Amino acid sequence: MPRCLSKLTLLKQGWQIWALEQPGPCLVDDSEELLWGNLMSLKIHCVPGFCLLTEPASSYITEGTPIKIPKGCTSLHHEIELGVVIGQKGTDIPEGSAMNHVAGYVLALDMTARDFQNIAKKKGNPWDLAKGFDTSCPVGKFIPKDAVSDPHNLELWCKVNGALKQNGNTKDMIFSIPYLISYISQYFTLEPNDIILTGTPAGVSGVNAGDIIQGGLGNLAEIEFKVAGKVGGS
């Protein structure tokens, strides 16, 4: 298992956060949102079933750092997701051995500037501003692989100011973790400490400055982040 993951400090050395976005639902009952993971370059790679997105390292934050609303954004949404942390480097990884490359997991939020995303969709443009702005990927503590008996059967939930907004189970993911690892590694080498965000259940909704977002992953992890004001003011 990679060192320092318990403190999640390796992003400073060049972490990659893999994100997948799907034109349709990423979870069986989700009518809006998609699959996630990402690279350091800013491109979208479209494939059958989903799009592979990329984000800069500045999107990543841990608890204690507030989520900042990007300048000009009027519709910021939360999306609770399971993040898969890569522990072993690999290229063109077979599905059958993909889980051997997993070090563990994190609970993450995929914050989305929905108004930016809608404009990009209409113009056929990449979604980098909508998905990769500063503080858009809050993550919780590292969960070792051995602590999770079945990553495809985990309850996850999200609350805003104490009100339950999302409540789902990873068994409803359309794409399995081995499939995602195998597919991504056909085109990009996966490195230790890369993260793959695996999709969000139904219930994504808007948040405003001052809101408190909480999330949970079974009995394994909980997170809490505050939404701050807009970058550079309104």
pLDDT digits (tens, 9 = 90+) for 120-166: 889 988 888 898 899 999 999 999 999 999 999 999 999 999 999 99
For the ranges 3-7, 25-29, 47-51, 165-169, the one whose mean pLDDT is highest: 165-169
Structure pTM?
0.82
The whole-number pLDDT of residue 187 equals 85
- Average pLDDT of the residues in 113-119: 94
pLDDT per position as a tens digit, 30-41: 333 434 333 322
Residue 4 lies in a domain: no
Residue 2 lies in a domain: no
Residue 5 lies in a domain: no
Which 3 state secondary structure label does DSSP give 138? strand
- Which residue, among 82, 68, 45, has the nearest Cα to 229 in the 3D structure? 68
Separation between Cα atoms, residue 225 and residue 110, nearest integer Å: 12
Count of domains observed in the chain? 1
Residue 49 pLDDT level (bands cut at 50, 70, 90): low
Residue 191 lies in a domain: yes
The whole-number pLDDT of residue 162 equals 99
- Which positions ≥6 away from 221 have C-beta within 8 Å? 106, 107, 140, 141, 143
Residue 180 lies in a domain: yes
Residue 29 pLDDT level (bands cut at 50, 70, 90): very low
- Average pLDDT of the residues in 216-229: 96
Residue 41 lies in a domain: yes
Separation between Cα atoms, residue 57 and residue 67, nearest integer Å: 15
Position 189 pLDDT exceeds 70 = yes
Separation between Cα atoms, residue 232 and residue 132, nearest integer Å: 17
Residue 48 pLDDT level (bands cut at 50, 70, 90): very low
Position 19 pLDDT exceeds 80 = no
- Which residue, among 13, 22, 64, 57, has the nearest Cα to 38 in the 3D structure? 57
Position 15 pLDDT exceeds 80 = no
- Domain of 76, in residue numbers: 10-230
CATH number of the domain within which 17 lies: 3.90.850.10
Residue 143 lies in a domain: yes
Residue 162 lies in a domain: yes
pLDDT per position as a tens digit, 50-92: 667 767 778 889 999 999 999 999 999 999 999 999 999 999 9
Separation between Cα atoms, residue 12 and residue 45, nearest integer Å: 25
